[in-house]
Chains A and B, each alone.
Chain A
Amino acid sequence: MRITFPHMGTSWIAFKTLVEGMGHEVVLPPPPTKRTLDLGTKYSPEFACLPFKVLLGTYLEALKLGADTIISSGGVGPCRAGYYTQLQGRILKEQLGYDVRVITFEPPRGHLMQTYRIIRDLVKVSFPKFAACAWLAWQKLLALDALERESHRVRPLELEKGTTSRILSQGIKAIDRADSVKEVKNVTAAFLKRFKEMPKDYDYQPLKVGVIGEIYVVLEPFVNLDVVETLGHMGVYVNRSIFLTNWVTENTLLDTFRVEAERSAKKAAGPYLPELVGGHGQTSIGETVLYAKRGFDGVVQLAPFTCIPEIVAKSIMPRVSKELDIPVLTLMLDEQTGKAGIATRLEAFVDLLRMRRNRMARTRGETA
């Protein structure tokens, strides 16, 4: 089988290791471009959310590269993402006439046997060998998240613009090349050290902004038009609420044992939105509350246009923002969104945050 999978941030490195470890050929999903999006938009329903369109485009490009099987995740709703593969599969097969196999991993809770069967059918090598590969893939995911997290921290402090992004991209490539757990760990340590040693402005106090929202648009830089990097270059420390490793642990492992995922955020959302609304709607509210309590200067909410859970969150956000005194900028992204437009809005937002911080420092000075 020639297998492909969704492209989401840097996670392809780990998925590649995993699928190769199963004994299959991997057709790497090409990183999404304008062309991917155009292709996806052409065959998607008009009001499908942006991730749906980008993924469909990615699959079409991967099919052209010779893939014959697509692996993706499912879900139990009420977010639409859980139904993606159903509809995308039908569009690919019935409307476009592709002969393609679509394999969906449902959340293990409630689908344990199904998950086991899929894995049994997919794995063509001995189990210990597969387990070793899965472990390596997981280590790679952890390493990638560690590097990214560190890059968010040091980017606003860099003296020469672009250093951080350069080191990060080298690090990502090195992790991709590594073929043992030990090597992954060495590479990670080496690159963390490079981050530490790069020239920095230690006196600078960056603004702190939390980035929340729907997982795909938060994790895929093409879709969110490099919001994280853009903010970093404006001298803002970005704290991303979602990292793939945390999300995977909480939503597969813990969920299987009926431990509720993202508990702290859900608890924090209680007074404003006590109900799960699917996707990341409730956590978006909760994370905003937590960021406000941790003294962040502002929050940027990212969501695809027509995303139902985030619309619910957006409706409630003004109240949270007002009561906890934390500025929130909501960016709804679709295929029409332009990078310059986003950059302008971010600049304005950051300017406001900076003025707000100065004003607060002044009032503190007066009262003291």
Chain B
Amino acid sequence: MAIRIGIPRALAYYSFYPQWKTFFEELGAEVILSPLTNKHIVNEGIRDTVTDACIPIKVYHGHVASLAGKVDYIFVPRIVGLDHDATLCPKFLGLPDMIKSSVKGIPPLLTPRFDVRDGRFAPAKAWMKVAEVLGAGYRHALLAYRKSVKVKQYYEELLTSRMLPEEAVSLLDKLAASVKGEKKTPSDVKSSIASAKSSSARSSELQNSNICLAVVGYPYMIYDEFINCGLLDTLKRLGVSILTPEMVPAKARQAQAKKQPKYLFWYYSNQVIRSVYYFFQENMVDGVIHLTAFACGPDAMVDKLLELDCQKHGRIPYLSLCLDEHTGRAGILTRLEAFTDMLVRKRGVRQ
């Protein structure tokens, strides 16, 4: 029987899932994803964590607990550095240790340490170690790694074409299945990705006449519909088109780095700030919504910086939404409605 690998649907999942999945499946393992965040998972997470932890961390613990008994290994990577400017939030750095100390009765963890600052081949080496645990040969693992990197590229391209992670993941899944079934060539995959991209870009083009809001924050806050009470859907219903940090190409984000007098110490925070600078530069947005978790350490800094920057950049309207496990749908809806109403009126006055 194939080895079953559990992947918690939280935190870095939103940035890397297609890559992880491809790697494990290429090595013949079966990937089991935890269910969408729900009340039960949140409660489990709250039970296992200290009160001071932020909601994404609590939810992550819940997802890990939900995988117990269903898999042979749980994949809890220690992601330390994704670029040379910063590390990730300390909670990512200590994640495997926190899980080991807090969640009871779980299968062994796979905890590779990813830090690009250790050298160009450091991530590849970390993956090789994972492959070793799974009993795969070196050559086999290397090929799997190369393929997973390719898939990550596709995934990022899809995201920059303004597709949401869940859609992109399911599209890539479909393509992977069809490659296996119908023996499609890589060029076919490329062309279908390109067509998906252009149609996604076209549909967002149509919406551009509406109010456009930057919804910024960490991917695990923006895209987890349970934590943020369906924020993106709500905005869609209010007739607002949205832009998120993941929709800005990585290069364009990096180009904004020179506007920061001192880089923030956390990868995702830098991405948030840089993408907002990009939106400002291209004059793309009517307002900014910042999604932050209650007692999020890095966001205490980011939130204030964004507030000051919005002031500085022609007083762009700014809404900061702070979420925790007690956040209610109605409260979020009211604030979003009030915010968009204000923007509509503002635009009317201008015209």
Contacts and interface: CB of A to CB of B under 8 A. Distances in A.
A305 B93 contact: no
Interface residues of A, number: 43
B299 A47 contact: yes
Interface stretch (A148-156, A200-208, A229-237, A274-282): A274-282
A39 interface: no
A314 B89 CA distance: 16
B101 A90 contact: no
B300 A90 contact: no
Contacts of B53: 311, 315
A77 B80 CA distance: 12
Contacts of B296: 47, 306
A131 interface: no
A307 B262 contact: no
B94 A316 contact: yes
| Most chain A CB within a 10 A radius of its CB, from B86, B94, B265, B305 | B94
- Interface bracket on B: 35 or more
B262 A83 contact: yes
Given A48-B300, A275-B94, A332 B52 contact: yes
Nearest to A277: B90
B97 A94 contact: no
A78 B300 contact: no
Interface string B260-296: 0110111000000000000000000000000000111
The residue among B78, B87, B88 with the most chain A CB atoms within 10 A of its own CB is: B87
Contacts of A86: 261-262
A181 B51 CA distance: 49
A272 B97 contact: yes
A312 B94 contact: yes
Interface string A240-282: 0000000000000000000000000000000011111111010
A273 B304 contact: no
Interface in B118-132: none
Interface in A69-92: 74, 76-80, 82-83, 86-87, 90-91
A121 interface: no
Interface string B43-81: 000000110110000000000000000000000001010
B158 to A, nearest CB: 30
B143 interface: no
B265 A77 contact: yes
B327 interface: no
Contacts of B300: 45-49, 52, 80, 306
Contacts of A52: 300
A312 B89 CA distance: 11
A275 to B, nearest CB: 5
Interface string A22-57: 000000000000000000000001111100100000
B297 A315 contact: no
B103 to A, nearest CB: 11
A83 B86 CA distance: 13
Contacts of B86: 77-78
A79 B94 CA distance: 13
B102 A315 contact: yes
A319 interface: yes
Contacts of B265: 76-80, 82-83, 278
Contacts of A80: 265, 297-298, 300-301
Given A45-B303, A79-B90, A309-B90, A316 B97 contact: yes
A183 to B, nearest CB: 41
Interface in A271-301: 272-279, 281
Contacts, number: 127
Given A47-B296, A86-B262, A91-B304, A316 B98 contact: yes
Contacts of A311: 50, 52-53, 91, 297
B36 interface: no
Question: Counting chain A CB atoms within 10 Å of each CB, which of B294, B297, B305 scores highest?
Answer: B297
Contacts of A48: 300-301, 304
A236 to B, nearest CB: 25
B207 interface: no
B84 interface: no
B52 A306 contact: yes
A276 B93 contact: yes
A307 B49 contact: no
Contacts of A82: 265
A314 B297 contact: no
A270 to B, nearest CB: 11
Contacts of B295: 47, 305-306
Nearest to A307: B297
Given A80-B300, A332-B52, A278 B97 contact: no
A338 interface: no
Contacts of A306: 52, 295-297, 300
A341 B106 CA distance: 37
A106 B282 CA distance: 34
Contacts of B326: none
A273 B89 CA distance: 15
Given A275-B80, A312-B93, A315-B98, A87 B298 contact: no
B261 A78 contact: no
Contact of A87 (B94, B101, B294, B304): B304
Interface of B: 49-50, 52-53, 78, 80, 86-91, 93-94, 97-98, 100-102, 113, 261-262, 264-266, 294-301, 303-305, 308, 311-312
21 contacts: A47-B303, A48-B300, A49-B297, A74-B262, A78-B266, A79-B265, A80-B301, A87-B301, A272-B101, A274-B97, A276-B93, A279-B90, A281-B90, A307-B297, A308-B298, A311-B50, A311-B53, A312-B97, A315-B49, A315-B50, A315-B101
6 closest A-B pairs (Cβ-Cβ)?
A77-B265, A308-B297, A312-B94, A277-B90, A319-B101, A47-B300
Given A78-B87, A275-B93, 5 more contacts: A77-B264, A82-B265, A90-B304, A306-B300, A312-B98
